[in-house]
Amino acid sequence: MEALRFTGTGSEYFKIWIVNVLLTIITLGIYYPWAKVRNRRYFYANTNLADRNFEYHATGKQLLLGFLIGLVLFVIYNIVTQVAPQFAVVFMALFMLILPWLIWRSVMFNMKVTSFSNVHFSFRGKLKTSYKIFLGYPLLVIIFIIILGIVASIAIPQLHIETMENPTILIIGSIILGFLSMLVYVFIIAIIQKKSKEYIIGNSFYGQGEFSIKLETKKFLTIYAKAIGLVLIPLVVMGLGTLGMGAGGVEILFVIGYLGFMVSFLLVGAYIVSRTRAYIYENTLLDNRVSFKSTLGARALAWVMFTNFLMIIVTIGFAMPWAKVRMARLMLENTLVDTSVGFDDYITQEQERGGAIGEQIGEVFDVDIDVGF
Amino acid sequence: MVEGYWHSKGSAERFYATFDINDLGRYTVVVEDKTAYRGDVASLKISERLGNVERKITLEDGSLFTTLDNDAIDTLFRHRQKSNAFVHYLETHMQWIAVAFVVAILTGISFFKWGIPWTSEKIAHALPYETNQLIAKGSMKFLDKAVFDESNLSKDKQEKIRNHFQTKIAPLSYEDDNKIDYKVYFRSWKMGDTEIPNALALPSGEIIVTDKFIQLATNQDEIDAVMLHEMGHVVHRHGLEMLIEGTFITVAVMMMTGDSSSIGDMGVGLGSALVSSSYSRGHESEADLYAFKKMLKGGIDPKSFSNIMNNMTEYMNEQNDDNETKKENKILDYFASHPSTKERVELANRYSECFKQGLMSCK
């Protein structure tokens, strides 16, 4: 097994990044898609495996139209949600309806414009499956929340009457109920995560080579269950801290709350990312012979995330390039690929052309679908 | 001669190869098994230079020559083909990096400090008056449902305040905007057991005052002062401005974080909270100033504004921490939506001096 290497440096990327910023400012934002291409290409082309590298082939011109459409929609969305919140619901529903299509197009486009050693990737997932995963399951979550709301609105007034003399039962009851609903919610999220990984990786191709993935829902749920355990620790600490501070003032509570939120977000996020990543890589194969492995640890990831955050805050954003390079290096150096078979047999497959519109609209709305490691 | 690798079209397999251009503008690629590819330089497609990442030259037949020797390629093609060297030139010259850095900082600061508020103000005032009604629509209903209770003030008292306002105070703003139809509402606002003294204005000209505020006011002038402050928000269309500013901030944030992972997002969230609260403080100061100017015109001592401000702050402090000594918290000041009471009181006192000298305007 061989680890991926990142050959870029923070200072080199800083220069590219700052020139991107300059040109984006001068062109009042129009340069943004070209800047994005330069950014991405820098990271892809500096990703090295067995002395060969990746490449990002999209052009600024390809991305411009989608970017402009996305921007207009984004501005309309922002204004509508502030002026008429009741329409925001309609907007959200419409967005949910096109999201699966956006994801499908995004993945397809991004795969197509990515190559490794002159061979392009491709994605052949079905649109129908995308709807099942990215519309069907979220609808389930919504139905679940509605049912919960109905149950709560019926049960709580009754409980209230019965437990007037004994409020402890009410408190304990609602804690248990809250915990259970959080559990169900997190599990549905875990299942969506698992399904989407299977969908994206399992329908991807490297040249004629087919990726296959086999995941068990139980393993996935275990990771998320442990993450919930992990999130309870900082919550309890925060709760005790709050009690201890007593009337320590709103300011102190605010600071504790923010820090506590950040630390638990970091730890839980890092834990879930590193564990699911390891599990997914372990169970992914290319052509049933090339295997993958992730050695990324939760603590290392949390540490880099945290120090990156501090760096960015202290430098009001100007350390972003170094932060991104550090993160890329950490991710790549912890990605192992079995290179014993070699890649010489792989040949790019001709694919139908498809535009970048979906990809760019998705990007503006923060639909984060990235190819690669 | 440049050394590198050659791939046949779409193939991952690579062979050691060399690339060269002769004086007649013809290129030659020699692969390790001595096969040679020749053609006109103009038919080649060369990838843009980016740092030191692998350079890719696509031949006519779709096969590919790759090399890491970027400098050699740049030298070979210098006079032969229009290459996209401009951006790379900027990226590799320290003076341009410095320029970019300075421009980024200055634009960033001026954009957030002056650009957004200025543009938002212009847009807010360019929009038809009805926009204010549109954005305030439903707000009163929502506030009544979620925040307020009915007022406990007597109908007589309410009527008296209303009449005074409509005859003496509201006309003061006609010279600025005579379309605004001011209405005064009385409500009670409780948070826990604490009654909140406050006054707020909706963009449509609906001014809401809470019972506790009326109770804390020791005379009519103090009520008028606060009413004028709220009218300042309405006349300056602050509600609309906030909305436009919010949209600008979100779009700017989207552009800044667009291609980054979520690592910096939290820092950005903190930053945009800072920026929007600074805009909000700007609006408060503007409304204060508006109130003071109108008070000079209407013959009301601006001192009454600082009096009622002090009363309300004192009352809230009493409610918040009964025995606790309140520590100054400088950092949190940056997040405050209102300027510190001290600053506002100082300005009020300055205007009060002018008032006593009988001036109609104050420097």
pLDDT tens figures, B267-325: 666 677 778 888 888 899 999 999 988 888 888 888 888 888 888 888 888 877 654 44
pLDDT (average), residues A360-370 = 54
CA angle A10, A15, A19 (to 5 degrees): 140
How far lies A85's CA from each of A35, A50, A167, B204, B314, in Å?
Answer: 34, 53, 36, 17, 36
**Phi, psi (rounded to 5 degrees) for B77:** -95, 0
User: CB count, 10 Å around CB of B110?
Assistant: 12
Contact A80, B240 (CB under 8 A): no
| pLDDT at residue A319 is higher than 60 | yes
**Residue A321's closest CA among A311, A335, A330, A331?**
A311
Q: List chain B residues with CB under 8 Å of A16.
A: 50-51, 91
What are the structural domains, with CATH classification, of chain B? 2-82 (2.30.29), 113-320+332-356 (no CATH)
Cα of B36 vs its chain's centroid, Å: 60
Q: Any chain B CB within 8 A of the CB of A23?
A: yes
Among A12, A52, A118, the residue with its CB nearest the CB of B64 is: A118
Yes or no, beta carbons of B324 and A347 under 8 Å apart: no
Q: Do B267 and A41 touch (CB under 8 A)?
A: no
How far B111 CA sits from the closest chain A CA (Å)? 10
Identify residue B357 by its one-letter amino acid code. Q
Query: 0.80 cut: is pTM over it?
Result: no
Q: What does the DSSP assignment read for B16-69?
A: EEEEEE-TTSEEEEEETTS-EEEEEGGG-EEPPP-TTPPEEEE-TTS-EEEES-
Q: Is the ipTM of this complex over 0.85?
A: no
Instruction: Name the residue among B14, B255, B332 with its Cβ closest to that of A29.
Output: B255
Q: Are B29 and B36 in contact (CB under 8 A)?
A: yes
Instruction: Please count the CA atoms within 13 angstroms of the CA of A336 that sit on its side-chain side.
Output: 12
B87 vs B94: CA distance, rounded Å: 13
Query: Residue B324 in 3-state DSSP?
Result: coil
Provide the pLDDT for residue A242.
61
Neighbours of A324 (CB within 10 A): 25
B192 touches chain A (CB under 8 A): no
Q: Lowest mean pLDDT of A62-66, A169-173, A176-180, A347-351, name the range.
A: A169-173
Q: What local confidence, expressed as pLDDT, does residue B77 receive?
A: 83
**Taking 80 as the threshold, does the pLDDT of residue B220 lie above it?**
yes
The pairing of strands B45-46 and B55-58 is antiparallel
Mention every residue, 6+ apart, whose C-beta is less than 8 A from residue A155: none
B215/B199 Cα distance (integer angstroms): 12
- Across the interface, whether the CB atoms of B266 and A40 are under 8 A apart is answered no
First to last CA, chain A: 16
Distance CA B148, CA B16 (A): 79
Higher pLDDT, A75 or A361: A75
Within 8 A of B268 by CB-CB distance, chain A residues are 317
Partner A, chain B 46-105, Cβ-Cβ below 8 Å: 50-54, 56, 64, 66, 87, 90-92, 96-97, 99-101, 103-104
Longest Cα pair distance anywhere in chain B, in angstroms? 105
Contact flag A78-B91 (C-beta cutoff 8 Å): no
Which range, A163-167, A203-207, A348-352, B37-41, is most confident? A203-207
Question: Which of A141-155, A208-222, B79-93 is predicted most confidently?
Answer: A208-222
Strand spans (E) along A78-208: 114-116, 119-123, 204-206
Contact B186, B151 (CB under 8 A): yes
Count of C-beta atoms within a 10 Å radius of residue A264: 18
Length of chain A: 373
pLDDT single digits (tens) B90-125: 888 899 999 999 998 998 888 888 888 998 999 888
**Cα B165 from chain centre:** 34
Q: For chain A, what is the largest distance between any 2 Cα atoms, rounded to a whole number of angstroms?
A: 77
Does the CB of A39 have a partner CB in chain B at under 8 Å? Answer: yes
Amino acid type, A257: G
Q: Domain ranges in chain A?
A: 125-202
Q: Provide the b/e sequence for A34-45 (b: ≥16 CB within 10 Å).
A: bbbbbbbbbbbb
CB contact A73 to B (< 8 Å): no
pLDDT, one tens digit per residue, over A117-142 is: 999 999 999 999 999 999 998 888 88
Average confidence score pLDDT of chain B? 84
- A57 near B CB under 8 A: no
Q: Which site among A17, A55, A78, A337 would you substitute to test the B interface, given the most B Cβ atoms closer than 10 Å to its Cβ?
A: A78
Long-range contacts of B142-151 (CB under 8 A, 24+ apart): B143/B187, B143/B208, B144/B187, B147/B189, B148/B187, B148/B188, B148/B189, B148/B208, B148/B210, B149/B187, B149/B188, B149/B189, B149/B190, B150/B187, B150/B188, B151/B186, B151/B187, B151/B188, B151/B211
pLDDT band for position A363 (50/70/90)? low
Min Cα separation A329/chain B (Å): 14
Cβ of residue B270 closer than 8 Å to a chain A Cβ: yes
Q: What angle do CA A13, A17, A18 make, to 5 degrees?
A: 120
A10 CA to chain B: closest CA distance, Å?
Answer: 11
**Residue A164: DSSP 8-state:** S
Q: Is B326 on the interface with A (CB under 8 A)?
A: yes
In tens, the pLDDT along A78-93 reads 777 777 767 778 888 8
Task: With residue B202 as reference, give the H or E element that holds it.
Answer: none
Q: By the CB < 8 Å criterion, does B146 face chain A?
A: no
Angle at A96 between CA A128 and CA A184, to 5 degrees: 90
Task: Tell me if chain B has a CB within 8 Å of the CB of A359.
Answer: no
**pLDDT tens-digit profile of B118-145?**
989 998 888 888 888 877 877 888 888 8
- Residue B22, chain A, CB below 8 Å: the answer is no
Contacts A331 to B, Cβ<8 Å: none
Q: Under an 8 A CB cutoff, do B324 and A16 touch?
A: no
